[in-house]
Structure 1
């Protein structure tokens, strides 16, 4: 991930939620800043490291790491999630307005599930089975790509609730698309990164106006 995309996301999160903005605690000491919280969330997602293993590297305790991950995934979904296009199609003279899932024969016979034909007879059925299996392969390849970039999708996730997994999976899909767009040199990321570097509207505490220097100092002191 480019540094400009990292700053762009951090800037957008700052506008949406104050959790990632550095503040003072009850004793007057500075709390953790957004770079630390976002870094720990990305390390857990990309490398699937245990939450208690990031304390030494990022200097964040286990409880705060879990909270930062939950906030991060929910913020990404809330800020960047788009809406699916309306779906309208006709099968056997019957109009449908909802999408469906392509599966194989092991799934139940539900209305939103379309299975392939195991032993197609005739040209029409053979064409349907071939196109169905081709589209299903594309979906499987997409999941493999996510597993490469986000190891948390690959490993066992017994420690996470269904709600957490919902946001984690959506966040991984959105984040993957954002990285692809950034590789294609989408200019909006550079704009948001510039805004974050020059933003001085935070009145909760006195923050560094140069996130690059702040990040370098943080990495050097780890």
Structure 2
């Protein structure tokens, strides 16, 4: 992380969460500074290291390191969610549609898919519910990503025994569309008028007008060309998952917390 980005985050977190303010104990000795606590949280997120490693590097206790991580993440969400964890606006939709035109998929809003995160310390009573096809407890993340790796929709928390269709039925991505308050995306194809954008998906998703799936076993030059273009552009969300795990190694390894709400 660049110094400028770190110094942008540190004062806002310290102002929002009093836990990060450096205090004196009863013996008038200074405690841990916000720099130490935030550095601990960022290193655990970025490198996926354990609390034992942070004890030697930042001279911080294990319980304090875990508490710093939990409070830091909550503060980040509360502070920056309005800017980075928000729904699409008209400007965002125009940018996504313009990119869809360049990719030969006009009116496309992105690619949707799911990712599983292994849950190492899943309680024994819940392992059956959270174990899916890989026979290990996992938690599912559903995301919609654009060409520039912007994940503008994220739905996290369902058990790993669910497939993409089960997750979609619980996902809030189409709640505004059902309520009739979603932003309109008007276009026509072969004389049919549409008022919603569409997403590129893999073969498991249902046959809805808002999903464009790959042609299975394409025959003929036209179908093969379409399948090739669809696969090439649908990999945006797969690439976003890869970059997410590469940037934040804590998601690449098994989750070590005990509660789903904390994860």
Matching residue of 2:216: 118
**More strand by proportion, 1 or 2?**
2
Query: Shift of the alpha carbon at 1:137?
Result: 1.4
Gaps of 5+ in 2: 90-182
Matching residue of 1:77: 77
Q: Identify the range of structure 1 (88-97 vs 2-11) with the bigger mean alpha-carbon deviation.
A: 88-97
Matching residue of 1:39: 39
Matching residue of 1:25: 25
Larger RCO: 1 or 2 (CA < 8 Å, sep 6+): 1
TM-score (norm 1): 0.60
Q: How far apart, CA to CA, are the structure 2 residues paired with 1:163 and 1:125? A: 44
Q: Secondary structure at the match of 1:164?
A: coil
Q: How far apart, CA to CA, are the structure 1 residues paired with 2:211 and 2:21? A: 44
**More helix by proportion, 1 or 2?**
1
Q: How far apart, CA to CA, are the structure 2 residues paired with 1:110 and 1:55? A: 52
Matching residue of 2:59: 59
Q: Which of 225, 238, 244 does residue 140 from structure 1 map onto?
A: 238
Q: Secondary structure at the match of 2:261?
A: helix
Q: How far apart, CA to CA, are the structure 2 residues paired with 1:61 and 1:73? A: 18
| RMSD after superposition | 3.0
TM-score (norm 2): 0.51
Matching residue of 2:262: 164
Gaps of 5+ in 1: 166-222
